[in-house]
Copies of this chain bind each other. A is one copy, B any other.
Amino acid sequence: MVKEVFRLLPEYRVLHLGDTARNPYGNKSEKTLVRYALEDAEFLLNNGAKMLLIGCNTLSAAATESLRKEFIGIPIFDIITPAVKKVIQETKNKRVGIIGTRTTVVSGIYERLIRQINPEIKVFSQSCPLLVPLVEENWLKKPETKTIVKKYLQPLKMKQVDALVLGCSHYPFLEKIIQLKIGRKITLINPGREAVLELKKFLEGNSTLEKSLVREGEHRFFVSDYTAHFQELGQKWLERPLKVELAEISCKIG
């Protein structure tokens, strides 16, 4: 999604936190993720962020409400709501598919939000827990990735959905395989892209806030754990050299 921010909102300074000391988030409980979201947000606000975009579907599903309650007055954008609007626009046969992490799918948030707007739409969800590790291994074109994607999508294909939400920020890296396996006539929705478009529209309507945003200075990429593997991966994903900064984390158990 950072790529979409660079493309669509190139003039602003980005502060990005990758919580590499505690991710992946996809199998963790909502309770734990709410806590992580509050800690992550506080870190970014302490470093000068003026608005927040939750770039992770799992965190958006678990913690958007808690973040808005905690940080009143800070515009907080989640990555799910714009994708919900888009998929409702796109479906013609009123049958849509959602793929995401286990925690996102168990939360049922996409179904709930889609049905609030249009109760006639049928929503079919499928968790795809192995896709995050496959993307993080950069196995984007391996035959095993293809068969695993096919296996996950088979039940949604059977349900004849005509639109599919890529409900995890890792999945757009597999967009081509997913399109191939679900069928070329199915519309794919990229929540990151929709969220950045929504944010752009918001800024166009809020000139006071828009003017207050920082334009100069380098982007900052924080990680809570530094490894060469994730640095290389980030560079590959963003297609540019990346100077990451370590945001140290300290915890207490029990």
Binding site for B on A (CB under 8 A): 17, 19-22, 24, 27-29, 31-32, 35-36, 39-40, 42-43, 46-47, 102-103, 129-130, 132-134, 136-137, 139, 143-144, 147-148, 151, 222, 224-227, 229-230, 247-254
Which one of B29, B227, B251 contacts A227 once the chains associate, using CB atoms below 8 Å?
Answer: B29
Tell me the smallest distance from the CB of A92 to a CB of chain B, in Å. 34
Q: Specify which chain B residues have a CB less than 8 angstroms from the CB of A252 in the assembled complex.
A: 39, 249-251
Q: Which of B227, B247, B254 is the one whose CB lies under 8 Å from A27?
A: B227
> How many Å lie between the Cα of A22 and that of B224 in the bound state?
12
Cα A63 to Cα B166 in complex, Å, equals: 38
Closest B residue by C-beta to A129? B137
Number of copies: 2
How distant is A221 from chain B, measured CB to nearest CB, in Å? 14
DSSP class of A's interface residues: helix, strand, loop or mixed?
Answer: mixed
Q: B27 and A251: CB pair below 8 A?
A: no
Report A248 CB to chain B, min CB distance, Å: 7
15 cross-chain CB contacts under 8 A: A22-B251, A27-B227, A28-B227, A29-B226, A31-B226, A32-B249, A35-B251, A46-B254, A130-B137, A133-B133, A222-B254, A224-B253, A247-B254, A249-B254, A250-B252
User: Which residue, of A47, A103, A224, has the highest number of chain B Cβ atoms within 10 A?
Assistant: A224
Scoring A28, A47, A230, A250 by chain B CB atoms within 10 A of each residue's CB, the highest score goes to A28
A250→B251 contact, CB < 8 A = yes
The smallest C-beta distance from A140 to any residue of chain B, in angstroms, reads: 13
Docked complex Cα distance between A229 and B103 (Å)? 10
If A248-B253, A249-B252 are given as contacts, then 15 extra A-B residue pairs at C-beta distance below 8 Å, sorted by A number, are A22-B251, A24-B24, A27-B229, A29-B225, A32-B249, A35-B251, A39-B252, A129-B136, A132-B133, A133-B133, A143-B147, A144-B147, A144-B148, A222-B254, A249-B254
- Cβ-defined contact, A254 with B21, below 8 A: no
Do residues B29 and A253 form an inter-chain contact, with CB atoms below 8 A? Answer: no
Report Cα–Cα, A43/B103, bound state, in Å.
27
Q: Which B residues are CB-close (under 8 A) to A253?
A: 17, 19, 39-40, 42-43, 224, 247-249
Chain B neighbourhood of A222, CB < 8 A:
254
Q: By the criterion CB–CB under 8 Å, are A28 and B20 in contact? A: yes
Known contacts A28-B21, A32-B21; is-contact A249 B247 (Cβ 8 Å): no
